[in-house]
Amino acid sequence: MIEITHLHKRYGSQPVLRDVTARVVPGTVTALIGANGSGKSTLLSAVGRLIPFEAGRIDIAGTGVHDWHHRELARMLSILRQAPRLDLRLTVEEVVEFGRFPHNEGPPTDEDRAAIEDALGLMSLREIRDRSIHELSGGQRQRAFIAMVIAQETRYVLLDEPLNNLDMKYAGRVMAVLTTLAHRRGRAVVVVLHDINMAAAYADTVVALRDGEVVHVGSVEDTMTETVLERVYGVPFPVVRVGERPFCVYHTHPASRAPEQAPEQAPEQAPEQAPERAPETTPPDHR
């Protein structure tokens, strides 16, 4: 279990996380939602021990996050940050193989190869396993990095906006795979999502942040209401049901439209001046 208790984080004088308390249990998918700048990525990075925090506590399987040896923590918890970069010239399979490094620093064992093969298959990458990562589209690279995290085979899996660059087909496949990891393999998956309908379709628990504070924790049914969504995003969105799940209709809402602009005005012209008169040679007659 991941337990976050009264967590505070600031950048300079600006607080970005304020008294955050939450819990993540194995066998579930937890979605972090909220507007830009609400603290989702910061919270995920703090849990993954990528950044320090000023106050509070984070426990991973009953042990403080800073009390873990880095190698043991890497076997317990994996994290994929936004827009990962890799400057090395590696193939897709070699990138995925990096996920096995915490388990084995030498040549891949049979166990390593089985984990790599499993991850390649789950992300539909076997046909391009020998291609250079730099030859791929943004979506293909993203799937390769997700496969690397899957191959790490950790109990806790943290992903920051993993659906970036993915089309509808692979976005749905990634979320389905993450659900499988949680429900069938007992992993605790925490995923930052901007598409709240993906959270509605696949999450077990939703943690909503606004301005660095947790404003709601609950099931999809509890979260996907007009009242809660307005509290999270500051805008009322209609909610409809598709099958057994509620979804938000935000694409046509006035808040998603570009702000109206005042019509352009013609450039101002200089005021007309009276025509010049010839100089008078005699004073005007004031009679």
Task: List the domain boundaries for the chain.
Answer: 2-84+155-255
The pLDDT assigned to 285 comes to 46
Q: For residues 205 and 1, what is the distance between their CA atoms, to the nearest angstrom? A: 14
User: Taking 80 as the threshold, does the pLDDT of residue 257 lie above it?
Assistant: no
Tokens 């308390």, residue located: 21
Convert the pLDDT of each residue in 99-140 to its tens digit: 999 998 788 999 999 999 999 999 999 999 999 999 999 999
Residue 88 pLDDT class (50, 70, 90 cuts): confident
Distances 155 to 77, 138, 141, 161, 282 between C-alpha atoms, Å: 6, 27, 24, 19, 105
pLDDT (mean) for 84-92: 82
Convert the pLDDT of each residue in 206-225 to its tens digit: 999 999 999 999 999 999 99
Assess if CATH 3.90.1300.10 describes domain 2-84+155-255.
no
